[in-house]
Each structure stands twice: as C-alpha cells, then as structure tokens.
Structure 1
Amino acid sequence: MIGLTTYLEQAQTGVWDVPAAFLPQLYFDAVTRAGGIAVLLPPQPVSKEIANRVLDSIDGLIVTGGKDVDPGRYGQDRHAATDEPRIDRDAWEDALLTAAIERGLPFLGICRGAQMLNVALGGTLHQHLPEVIGSSRYQLGGGTFNRVPIEAEPGSAVATLIGAEPLHVEVYHHQAIDRVADGLVVTARSDDGVVQAVEVSGMPFGVAVQWHPEQNQDDLRLFAGLVDAAREAKK
C-alpha cells in the first residue's frame, strides 16, 4: 500500500471550477504497474499524531511534484520567479516525511518531493536555477519535459536501481537543492553539478530524486524499488 501526496489547486471539470485535490495519472499508474496499491493523500490539517496515523495505514510513501516550497521554511524571501506558497501542502508533506524518517518507512521523493525533504531536514534551495547555471535547460516551459544526463554514485540505492552509468532523465524544475541538509547524502548529479538525488543516511529506502521518473513508464525501477522495500518492511 503506497500513499502518494497530491496537489491542492483550483481545477476545472465540466461546469465546476473549484479547489480540488488531484494527481497526474502517471504517478499512480507507475505504482500499480510496479506491483503496489496506490492511495492518494491530499493536503489537510496535520499534527504529529495525524501523520503517524496516516503512516500506520500505508507501507510506503511518495512525495510528488508540484508548486515550489515556501522559501520562508528555509529562511529566505520569495524570489520573483517562485510560486505563491502552498503552506497547507508544505506542512502536510513535512509532517509525513518527518514521521516516515522517524519510523524508517520507505519513501520516494520526486522533484518537489526532493526539495521538500531537504528543507524539512534543515537544508536550503536555489530558488531560480537559471540565475545559478545560466540556462533554462531544466524547465523549458509550456509543460515540455527536457532530458538531461545524470550519474548516480556507485553503491548508492539509486545506483543499485538504475545503474551507475550516465542516464538521461526527464526534468521540469526551476529550483534545486542548494545547501544539503544534515542526514542527507547526495547520490546523483547532472553534468553541471546540480543535485539530482539524495538519500537519508541509515534508512533502508529513503530516496528522493529531482527528476520525474513517472514520465518514463518504460523504466519503473525506482517505483519497483520502493514497492519492494515497502513489502520487505511490512514483513
């Protein structure tokens, strides 16, 4: 049973135009094709007790992509290119990640999920990568994913799943991890040095990637790794 966090945004369907929790189908398709059961976890009021009650009901967690993390959480003012904060979603995912780490529950962070993990543990973000690397290669705009080469550190959980050889992955982000939080290890970078994967030290499976593995339904190795870890932890 794999819980996936969701968006909470204004959405249109038929005659309705309302705030709604939703998640692109590719995410939960990847989970079910990898052998898991997908359960959606929409942003809602949260406490430590609520977060733990939710995690009691699942065997693994995915913190998905979406809007930018509130820079106030890492002590910065909002950059002009940074999204309006989704403080409800930030609080929800922070609590779930913190509880998952405390109990050793297997989890996978994706794009925003990697950034949220780093911030939750005390790290910071680059708010606008084009100002750092001089390129918009990571977010072309218009919903078009770019493919960039990344390389995983040999011996890491990421390398065990996808290999240590360079791999082209789908990206759509204008922010990235800057100062890495204590307790995290960088386990993949792209060719310009941007952090592309981190792992929680001492966890059997506490992995977060900056790219979007759900966009390649022909390569579900990260999802299969999470499902396998969740199945093993349940035993």
Structure 2
Amino acid sequence: MNALDSGPLIGLTTYREQAAWGVWRQRADLLPTQYAGAVESVGGVPLLLPPVGVPGAAEAVVARLDGLVVSGGADVDPSRYRSQPHPRTAGWRADRDAWELALLDAADAAGLPVLGVCRGMQLMAVHAGGSLDQHTPDLVGHEEHSPGGDAFGTTSVATAPGSRLAALVGEKLTVSCHHHQSVREAPGFQAVATAADGTLEAIEAPTDRFYLAVQWHPETVADIGLLAGLMEAARAYSAR
C-alpha cells in the first residue's frame, strides 16, 4: 500500500511539556487531538513529530512526509528575530524552535506542502527573516484574540481576493483564535487575510507550492477548506 492508497502522510509538530494522565506525572510529547482528527477527516494520515535534536533528523523525516503542519504552542524565542523579550513574552521552547526551523529548512529544500497554525504562522514568518509583535493587545487595545485560560476567542477575517486562501475558505469567515502575539513582517510572503482590527491573519507564498499559514486554529472547527487544500497539495506531491 502506498500513500495514494492510504492517504497522504501529514507530519504534525508537537509540544513537549510536563503532563498528567492516569497515575503519571512526567514530561510528555503531546498535541490536542483535534489536529489529528482534522487531518483524518479529509483523508490524511497524521504522524506526530516531537522535537528531535539529532543532526539530519529533519531531512530524514521530511523525506517520508507528503505534507507538514507546524502546530500552535508557546511563544517563539525573541532572539530568533533579533528582539528582546516583551514582559508578556515567556515560556519559549528552544528545542521546539530549533526542530521546527530545521523542518522548515528541509521542507523548503524538498518543496513539501506546509500549513502553519497560530504559532506555526509566526515561526514561518521568523524562518523567512521576519519579526513579530510580541503582545498584540498593545496594538489593538483589546484581548479578544486570546480571552484567557483555555478559551478560544472568535475573530471575523477577510481574505485577499485571488489568493489561494480565498479559494479555499471564501471571502469572509469567523475563526477560533488563541494568541497574544502576531506577525509584523513576513518577507517573501503575501498578506492574504486580516482581522477587522488590522491584525494579520494569514500569509502565503506567491508560488504554486502550498506554503500557507493562518493565525487562527482551523483544527477546532469544521474548517474543511484549509485542510482539504493541504491534502490536495500533499497528494500531488506524493504522486510526483
């Protein structure tokens, strides 16, 4: 059975955190189940990718994938984009930053389809030499993008006419979000969606390659368009 029979193999980057389940209290590699469920719902096969520090591991992993999702999570280390930490920037994970940046390097070399989600969009911008606004409420004057705790906010988003994103999700949509940082600059990308308050909500590469990122969380709702677009690109990549 090949990937065309079983469905594209989609890598999902993961957290590495202190966790609790059953009788266990220890560090674990984990990811909310919605990510894998969203991939499965559109015919893909999810593969979790915890941080790996072995040289060459990212290239070896990418060689086996048909697509990659850079998942949400903690803040990106500000030193990665030549900045000092804002008082509200905390908890970055050096191992995860290094691993995901290596995966993006390998994905670029292979032409692998990539979807970035929330932190994933921010990391893709930083990977391209861009920078972040470290506390979006300082700019927009409200906390609606991340209302606190484990609650998601909702944001109305308008997409850019003619963009790949607009073809996948339409001109306007309401999305689930949970972030206090956002992309300021993303060299080489096109800005393809914004919130009503001006926050950049999506970027995509101006090429035929599926290389797209959104600030919201498509895995939390029935956002079939984005995941279906990734699956279509992954199938075409696998066929090549």
Task: Output one character per residue of 1:205-225: Cα deviation in whole Å (capped at 9) or x when no partner.
Answer: 001000000110x23211111
- Give the corresponding residue for 1:138: 145
CA distance in 1, matches of 2:74, 2:65: 25
1:30 deviates by: 0.2
Matched, 1:174 2:152: no
Give the deviation of 1:50 after TM superposition.
1.9
1:38 aligns with 2:42: no
For 1:210, the equivalent position in structure 2 comes to 215
The 5-angstrom pairing of residues 1-235 of structure 1 reads: 1-47=9-55, 49-164=56-171, 166-180=172-186, 182-216=187-221, 218-235=222-239
Flag structure 1 segments of 5+ consecutive residues without an equivalent.
none
Q: How many Å apart are 1:46 and its aligned residue?
A: 4.4
1:66-100 deviation line (CA, Å, top 9, x unaligned): 00000010111111211222000000001111221
Q: Distance in 1 between matches of 2:12 and 2:146?
A: 23
Structure 2: distance between partners of 1:25 and 1:62:
14
Q: What is the distance in 2 between the residues matched to 1:99 and 1:115?
A: 18
SS in 2 for 1:224: helix
| Identity score, percent | 46
CA distance in 2, matches of 1:58, 1:162: 25
Q: How many corresponding residue pairs?
A: 231
| One-letter identity of the residue aligned with 1:156 | S
The answer as to whether partners of 1:46 and 1:95 remain within 8 angstroms in 2 is no
Query: Does the 8 A contact of 1:152 with 1:158 survive in 2?
Result: yes
Cα distance in 1 for partners of 2:13, 2:224 equals 19
Kindly provide the amino acid, as one letter, of the partner of residue 42 in structure 1.
P
- After superposing on structure 2, the runs of 4+ consecutive aligned residues of structure 1 that deviate more than 6 Å are none
Please, what TM-score do these two structures have when normalized by structure 2?
A: 0.93
Question: Which residue identity does 1:40 align to in structure 2?
Answer: L
Compute the RMSD of aligned alpha carbons: 1.0
Query: Shift in Å at residue 203 of structure 1?
Result: 4.2
Q: Please, which runs of 5 or more residues in structure 2 have no aligned partner? A: 1-8
